[in-house]
Chains A and B, each alone.
Chain A
Amino acid sequence: MIEKLDITLIVNGRERHARVEPRRLLADVLRHELGLKGTHIGCEHGVCGACTVLLDGRSARSCLHFAVAVDGAEITTVEGLGGGDELTPIQQAFHRNHALQCGYCTPGMLVTVQEFLAREPDPDDAAIRRALSNNICRCTGYANIVAAVREAARALREAGT
């Protein structure tokens, strides 16, 4: 029997503790141990992007990390992007542009776009498509997501954030 290990994560600004087997994926710890079901699991081998979170400030696939190996890290999930019930400018743009249907890919999209627009505040459509190319959406056909990112970029630039 393999021993469980104690870990501490700073999730959305709060210190959280869990006791998990080494093989426990970060995605599962977030969902099951910590009850944060906003992080979705699609493929479990790094191709769909639904499980994307920010890990120490940079996007990462939570299905490709063992929680024990990121002990001590700061994690931001989709629940931590806005302030409580407030939608972020990116979330508002997704809402307005109908950039989600079933919503399964949305948490990963939002986290990916959050990092992308922080790095590239004024992207053209080609850059937006490139940034989204590792996140799979089976509903929208992507056009509305691209439109949402374009609008969010403008909104963020105008707000000067």
Chain B
Amino acid sequence: MKPAPFAFAQPDDLAGLLLALGEHGEDARILAGGQSLVPLMNLRMVQPAMLISLNRVDALDFVDVEDDRIVIGARVRQAQAEEDEAVRRHCPLLADALSFVGGQSNRNRGTVCGSLAHGDPLGEPPAAALALDAEMRIVGPHGRRTVPASQFFLGALETVIAADEMLEAVAVERTRGDERSCFLEVGNRAHGFAVAGLALRLRFDAAGTVTLARVAMIGAGDTARRIAGAETALTGRALDEAAIAEAVAHARTEVDPPSDVHADAGHRRHVLGVLLDRGLRRLAEGDDA
């Protein structure tokens, strides 16, 4: 199908974007790579009165390395981030997660921030952001604010970004030497919608005790989410058989998977447990991202 008519603006600086957003906020949508938004518009499931493209704002095209974070601007394409030297070195989990997004032609155009702002419950970047304790850097007419990823996703296609705001950048934690991480996913097609996915990050002390655990899952609710019970079960002890079994049991109880055309809830619950088991064993063997 063809999209419904809309007006179009493509300012070439951030001030222009914010001005247009302020003027049309409720009825407008930001267009970044369009790989999630345009399909919805073509199907007329979404009919914004106006699209404001950020594609001309060169200032949003950056990957910055801060002391303990990697900051990715709103125009950075998924493929660009996936191939970026700094991202690969300092945040392999993100590069790993991005390789699962759509096909090459989608990743060439879709942006990291767009996927986060869109809040697709089956998207990979939200899970990676949660596992990496990302800071979501939001900008609006009243200035900038930072929201932790754990408070950013409210539900399917719903985030804390207000109508006159946009996601300017995402700042993920840099991977430290005492960390291991991986991203695992199961889908019915290699690049189709995920049935279930897992972004896993563990930090160990010298004795092998887990000092920090991040277990973020997709297909486990109406948005990507962290599984608190599994994280608690893993923290403060060695990553042994008992810890793995306990974490998997907690995850299977805590997840609340959706049923849809890709998989039903029971199947997802099972697969999420399998993924966590697999991921934890991989990290226990030191075979990480």
> Using a CB–CB distance below 8 Å, which chain A residues touch chain B?
2-3, 5, 21-23, 25, 28, 44-47, 49, 52, 55, 58-61, 63-66, 68-71, 112, 115-116, 129-131, 133-135
Contact across chains for A66 and B34 when beta carbons are under 8 A apart: yes
Contact across chains for B34 and A59 when beta carbons are under 8 A apart: no
Bound form: Cα–Cα A135–B6 in Å: 29
User: A121 to nearest B CB, angstroms?
Assistant: 16
Bound form: Cα–Cα A81–B145 in Å: 47
A111's nearest neighbour on chain B, judged by CB, is B105
Determine the chain B residues whose CB is within 8 A of the CB of A52 once the complex forms. 105
Determine the chain B residues whose CB is within 8 A of the CB of A64 once the complex forms. 34-35, 38-39, 42, 106, 109
Q: Using A22-B51, A23-B41, A69-B53 as known contacts, list a sample of 18 further A-B pairs with CB atoms less than 8 Å apart, ordered by residue number in A.
A: A2-B6, A2-B7, A21-B5, A22-B6, A28-B2, A44-B2, A44-B42, A45-B38, A45-B39, A46-B102, A47-B192, A58-B79, A60-B109, A61-B35, A61-B105, A64-B38, A71-B10, A134-B190
Contact across chains for A68 and B8 when beta carbons are under 8 A apart: yes
Determine the chain B residues whose CB is within 8 A of the CB of A115 once the complex forms. 104
A58's nearest neighbour on chain B, judged by CB, is B108
Asked, given contacts A59-B105, A60-B108, whether A45 binds B42 with beta carbons under 8 Å apart, the answer is yes
Asked, given contacts A2-B7, A45-B39, A134-B105, whether A25 binds B34 with beta carbons under 8 Å apart, the answer is no
User: A18 to nearest B CB, angstroms?
Assistant: 14
Determine the chain A residues whose CB is within 8 A of the CB of B190 once the complex forms. 129-130, 133-134
Determine the chain A residues whose CB is within 8 A of the CB of B236 once the complex forms. none
Bound form: Cα–Cα A139–B100 in Å: 27
Determine the chain A residues whose CB is within 8 A of the CB of B55 once the complex forms. 69-70
Q: List 9 A-B contacts (CB under 8 A).
A: A21-B5, A22-B6, A23-B3, A25-B42, A64-B106, A66-B31, A66-B51, A69-B8, A69-B51
Partner of A66, one of B8, B39, B102, B108: B8
Partner of B2, one of A3, A5, A25: A25
Determine the chain A residues whose CB is within 8 A of the CB of B43 once the complex forms. 45
A115's nearest neighbour on chain B, judged by CB, is B104
B176 at the interface (CB under 8 A from A): no
Contact across chains for B2 and A134 when beta carbons are under 8 A apart: no
Asked, given contacts A22-B8, A58-B79, A69-B53, whether A134 binds B39 with beta carbons under 8 Å apart, the answer is no
B274 at the interface (CB under 8 A from A): no
User: B262 to nearest A CB, angstroms?
Assistant: 13
Contact with A along B84-98 (1 / 0, CB 8 A): 000000000000000
Contact across chains for A2 and B5 when beta carbons are under 8 A apart: yes
B267 at the interface (CB under 8 A from A): no
Asked, given contacts A55-B109, A65-B109, whether A5 binds B8 with beta carbons under 8 Å apart, the answer is yes
Contact across chains for A46 and B79 when beta carbons are under 8 A apart: no
B5, B7, B79, B106 — which one has the most chain A CB atoms within 10 A of its CB? Answer: B106
B4's nearest neighbour on chain A, judged by CB, is A23
